[in-house]
Chain A
Amino acid sequence: MAMLLSEKQIAQLKRRVRETPHPREMVLDVLHAIQDANGWVSDEGIELAAIILGLSPLQVEEIATFYDKIYRRPVGRKVIHICDSICCWSRGSETLMLRLQQLLGIAAGETTTDGMFTLLPTCCLGACADAPAVRIGKTLYGKVAPEQLETILDGERTEVKS
């Protein structure tokens, strides 16, 4: 379990939990920390969060499973969130989704065999003036044309390698 976060990180989080008057409010901070370090939150991650927060695993689980940006299943090194809400839909997000599935050889919800990308639809990213929008890892791409996708994916792959 200690592998999920370093001893130092665990100690730091435990200290913050002790210092805050309402420890439970930190549940997302702890889950974010575990996800940042591991890419996703495993069952062991839920148990670790529960220990840090002084909650039961179930109390953490009911939070973790509610939020769509906490991943409770393994994901690729970069998650592709493609917006399928109204503004992006009106400017071609369905075509982008099909092209991404073609280029990656996976359906929505799946991860590429090399473990690089997971493809997930998402609701509005707040980039409506730049529709259609796609977020890959931490980078937001706006006004994406289907023909740009290959270059964008190549760039994201190279960034991981370098």
Chain B
Amino acid sequence: MRTCEPLLFKNRRIGETVFLEGYRKTGGYQGLEKALRDMTPAAVREEVKASGLRGRGGAGFSTGLKWSFFPSDDPGEKYLVCNGDEMEPGTFKDRQLLLADPHHLLEGVLIACYALGIGTAYIFLRDAYRQCAVNLEHAMHEAREAGLLGDNILGSGFSCEVHVHRSAGRYICGEETALLNSLEGLRPTPRSKPPFPAVKGLFGKPTALNNIETLANVPHIITGGAAWYKSLALTEKGSGTKLYGLAGHLETPCCVELPLGMPLGELVRDFGGGVWQQRSFKACLPGGASTPYLTAEHLDVALDYETLEQVGTRLGTGGVVVFDDRTCMVAATLNLLRFFARESCGWCTPCRDGLPLVCWLLERIESGQGTREDMTMLQEQLRYINGRSFCALALGAMGPVDGLLRHFAEEVEDHIRLGRCPLQT
């Protein structure tokens, strides 16, 4: 069984939270010390860029490249916002990290702020993660007492304040510009881009936005170096480790840290305990609710960014959700689309009106009332909705529909031909 020396989960014991003493015992805050003592902010940015780290929140954009667009050296107010609105169904990795080891994120935030010339950071946490907020606030209190947070950190002259913001629900808050509106106390509909947040973000100031897992990787890149970090992945283009989620029809659903590029089948067998009740693998969402399905043909596929793009899907958040051979993929897709339709903020027509239409079509097909025209219409919605919505929510929502029509067209047709769901007994 392939495993790896965990980085983010190195202090994780289920049911326990490690705070400052435990975190420092295993090398915690050495990355921050090294950055402040031995490196210029530009050198930190360079190291992160060289590491090949890609955003772990779903979009997979190069962190180093994102940071290179940021006006780090400009004077004036700038912000770091950590996106902890982990609401993509099938995704629970950031919660696991904050339950186990909140200082990990805090160190990543502080190094990022140093690298980007930022003095104020906000950590945006979803409503459901109350314990995570409590853990973080305790960690921040400890860090302040230890001179790791606030004015003149470790005597370096670098000062940084961190605020925890507790949200009150709604998936759209994970969209970065909606999140900024939410933080400002405005109605959290997305903003138009450009201007991008790096130019005009929170309170109109340049703002860097990164996911929790992304930031928690930064201390390891600084202590271990970019080359070492990159070498941890199993694939040539991959970099580092990944917190994979394993959920759905598995014997042992869990969250596990493994090298980036784990083959899907191996992950399911060795860490998910295999498909439950001795059934067989039918399909999975590779990285949360908005990623097109993989099928049993894809069990050898490496779960990394490039490989999954080649097979028409995305690594997303790395939250793998498995479906067994008794699952109706129309019903699964309908469940996913109902989620997206309900969570649409209502700002733009393709999303507000398009997604309920897609739900209606899927409902008709699943209940046996669907026609060939309904299936054609479903196909058309891919064209009408994708690329026409204001933000990426609707595009993500159509991921499962795209997967359904590409991999399970026959199953959809069976519903229409038989006038009932072929999997319902």
Q: Does B253 contact A (CB under 8 A)?
A: yes
Check B184 against A24 for contact (C-beta < 8 Å).
yes
Q: Given that A67-B168, A87-B321, A123-B339 are contacting pairs, would A131 and B247 also be in contact in the complex, using a CB cutoff of 8 Å?
A: yes
Distance in Å: Cβ of B86 to nearest Cβ of chain A? 6
Nearest B residue to A130, CB-CB: B253
Q: For chain A residues 105-162, which have a beta carbon within 8 Å of chain B?
A: 122-131, 135, 138, 140
B243 vs chain A, min Cβ distance (A): 12
Q: Which residue of B lies closest to A26 (CB)?
A: B185
Contact partner of A86 (CB less than 8 A), chosen from B127, B171, B185, B336, is: B336
CB distance from A10 to the nearest CB of B (A): 18
Q: Is the CB of A128 within 8 A of B92?
A: yes
Q: Is the CB of A125 within 8 A of B128?
A: yes
Given contacts A62-B187, A66-B187, A89-B335, 9 further A-B contacts (CB under 8 A): A25-B165, A67-B167, A85-B289, A86-B248, A86-B289, A87-B90, A124-B89, A128-B90, A131-B248
> A22–B165 Cα gap in the complex (Å)?
14
Contact (Cβ within 8 A) A123 B87: yes
Residue of A28, A53, A66, A86 near B166 (CB, 8 A) is A28
Among B187, B285, B343, the residue within 8 A (CB) of A63 is: B187
Nearest CB in chain B: distance from A100 CB, A = 18
Please tell me the size bucket of the interface on B.
35 or more
- Whether B170 contacts A124 by the Cβ 8 Å rule is no
Contact partners of A28 in chain B: CB under 8 A: 165-168, 185
Which residues of A sit under 8 angstroms from B89, Cβ to Cβ? 85-87, 123-124, 128
Known: A86-B332, A128-B245. Contact between A31 and B168, CB under 8 A? yes
Question: Does A126 contact B254, Cβ atoms closer than 8 Å?
Answer: no
Given A123-B171, A128-B91, A69-B247 contact (CB < 8 Å) = no
* A70 in the interface (beta carbon within 8 A): yes
B168/A69 in contact, CB under 8 A:
yes
Interface band, chain A: 35 or more
Whole-angstrom distance between the Cβ of A97 and the nearest chain B Cβ: 13
* B183 lies within 8 A of chain A by Cβ: yes
Query: Chain A residues with Cβ under 8 A from B86's Cβ?
Result: 126
Q: A66's contact among B87, B95, B188, by CB below 8 Å, is which?
A: B188
Pair B95/A126 contact, Cβ less than 8 Å: yes
Whether B88 lies near A67 (C-beta < 8 A) is no
Q: Is the pair B253, A70 in contact by a Cβ cutoff of 8 Å?
A: no
Contacts of A86 in B (CB 8 A): 89-90, 248, 285, 289, 321, 332, 335-336, 339
Q: Are A69 and B169 in contact (CB under 8 A)?
A: yes
CB neighbours (8 Å) of A68 from chain B are 168-170
The answer to whether the Cβ of B228 comes within 8 Å of any Cβ in the partner chain is no
10 contacts between A and B (CB under 8 A): A67-B167, A86-B89, A126-B95, A126-B128, A127-B95, A128-B89, A128-B253, A129-B245, A131-B248, A131-B253
Task: Confirm or deny: A32 has a beta carbon within 8 angstroms of a beta carbon on chain B.
Answer: yes
> Given that A123-B171, A123-B339, A126-B126 are contacting pairs, would A25 and B332 also be in contact in the complex, using a CB cutoff of 8 Å?
no
Given known contacts A86-B339, A90-B249, A126 and B129 CB-to-CB distance under 8 angstroms:
yes
CB-nearest residue of chain B to A22: B203
Q: CA–CA, A135 to B332, complex, Å?
A: 23
When the two chains form their complex, are residues A85 and B339 in contact, meaning their CB atoms are under 8 A apart? yes
Please, which residues of chain B bring their CB within 8 A of the CB of A70?
168-169
- Interface pair A128/B321, CB less than 8 Å apart: yes
B186 at interface (Cβ–Cβ under 8 A)? yes
- Closest partner residue, chain B, to A86 (CB atom): B89
Shortest distance between the CB of B245 and any CB in chain A (Å): 6
**Which residues on B sit within 8 Å (CB–CB) of A127?**
92, 95
Q: Is the CB of B254 within 8 A of A129?
A: yes
Most buried by A among B86, B187, B343: B187
B87 partner residues in chain A, CB cutoff 8 A: 123-124, 126
> Does A96 lie at the interface of the complex (its beta carbon under 8 Å from any beta carbon of B)?
no
In whole angstroms, what is the CA distance A127 to B87 when docked?
A: 10
Choose among A86, A122, A125, A130 the residue with the greatest number of B CB atoms under 10 Å from its CB.
A86
In the complex, chain B residues whose CB is within 8 Å of the CB of A140: 128
Task: Kindly supply a per-residue 1/0 record for chain A positions 39-80, scoring 1 wherever the CB is within 8 Å of any chain B CB and 0 otherwise.
Answer: 000000000000001000000001100111110000000000
The interface residues of chain A lying within 8 Å CB-to-CB of B128 are 125-126, 135, 140
A34: chain B residues at CB < 8 Å are none
- Complex-state Cα separation, A138 to B127, whole angstroms: 11
A24 pairs with B186, CB closer than 8 A = yes
When chains A and B are docked, how far (Å) is the Cα of A91 from the Cα of B249?
Answer: 7
User: Across the two chains, which residue of chain B brings its CB closest to A31?
Assistant: B168
In the complex the two chains form, is B88's CB within 8 Å of A124's CB? yes
Q: Does A82 contact B (CB under 8 A)?
A: no
Q: How far is the CA of A99 from the CA of B247 in the complex (A)?
A: 23
List chain A residues, Cβ under 8 A from B403: none
Q: Name the residue on A nearest B96 (C-beta).
A: A129
Which chain B positions have C-beta within 8 A of A135?
128
- Whether A90 contacts B323 by the Cβ 8 Å rule is yes
Q: Which residues of A contact B269 (CB under 8 A)?
A: none
The reply to whether the CB of B255 lies closer than 8 angstroms to some CB of chain A is yes
Q: Which residues on B sit within 8 Å (CB–CB) of A129? A: 92, 245-247, 253-255
Asked if B295 lies at the interface with its beta carbon under 8 angstroms from chain A, I say: no
Q: Considering the chains assembled together, what is the distance between the CA atoms of A85 and B89 in angstroms?
A: 6
CB distance from A85 to the nearest CB of B (A): 4
